[in-house]
């Protein structure tokens, strides 16, 4: 009995849990996880790739700093690459290209510059995400109609019926008793 307790204390000193199932984590998972994140993997995808539950993946991220940092770096690198591509697509860009052609049976390379004009959809996407307060589909607009009636026109379904009635009365659309004017 005393010998078992000594082993448990030794294991605890090494940072290992004395009981429970041993971890399935391996050091090479840090690099594998990084590569998967570069491909756009989510935590759910990573858990499936490693054959574990998402909760286990979260424990690995807590207990294995190198693993956690690899995943963060992979996701950040992938996001930066895509953001840079979107930025170039939004503003337009040019690059060198080679076209292989044939004339009278002889193949030759023709170098040229390929031009891509700015892409409106990429511009809109970029601006909505970078400047949401200025570029959004439904801007929040407050209108002061009269004395005490304020109407938020971005969400007409949320305007109280009493305010709608007051507004209609002020505009002469209905009489005080609620009948059409």
Quote the pLDDT of residue 172: 74
Distance CA(155)–CA(14), nearest Å, equals: 60
Quote the pLDDT of residue 130: 83
3-state secondary structure of 111: strand
Q: Would you call 25 exposed, middle or buried from its count of C-beta atoms within 10 A (0-12, 13-18, 19+)? A: middle
Distance CA(126)–CA(7), nearest Å, equals: 59
Distance CA(123)–CA(126), nearest Å, equals: 5
Quote the pLDDT of residue 55: 94
Quote the pLDDT of residue 139: 63
* 93-103 and 142-144 beta bridge pairing: unpaired
- How many Cβ atoms sit within 10 Å of the Cβ of residue 45? 15
**Predicted confidence pLDDT, tens digits, the chain (181 residues):** 455 554 554 454 455 556 788 889 999 999 999 999 999 999 999 999 999 999 999 999 999 999 999 999 999 999 999 999 999 999 999 999 999 999 999 999 999 999 999 999 988 888 888 888 888 777 666 666 555 555 566 666 677 777 777 777 777 777 666 555 5
The sign of the torsion formed by the CA atoms of 131, 137, 143, 148 equals: negative
pTM for this prediction: 0.55
């Amino acid at each position: 009995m005393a010998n078992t307790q000594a082993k448990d204390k030794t294991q605890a000193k090494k940072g290992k849990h004395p009981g429970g199932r041993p971890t399935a984590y391996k050091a090479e998972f840090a690099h594998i996880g990084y590569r998967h994140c570069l491909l756009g993997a989510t935590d759910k995808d990573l858990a499936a790739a490693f054959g574990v539950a998402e909760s286990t993946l979260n424990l690995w991220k807590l207990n294995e700093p190198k693993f956690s940092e690899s995943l963060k770096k992979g996701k950040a690198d992938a996001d930066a690459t895509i953001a840079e591509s979107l930025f170039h697509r939004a503003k337009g860009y040019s690059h060198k290209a080679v076209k292989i052609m044939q004339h009278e049976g002889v193949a030759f390379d023709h170098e040229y510059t390929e031009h891509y004009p700015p892409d409106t959809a990429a511009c809109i996407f970029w601006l909505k995400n970078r400047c949401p307060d200025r570029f959004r589909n439904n801007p929040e607009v407050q209108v002061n109609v009269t004395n005490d009636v304020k109407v938020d026109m971005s969400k007409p379904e949320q305007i109280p019926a009493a305010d709608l009635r007051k507004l209609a009365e002020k505009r002469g659309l209905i009489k005080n008793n609620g009948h059409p004017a």
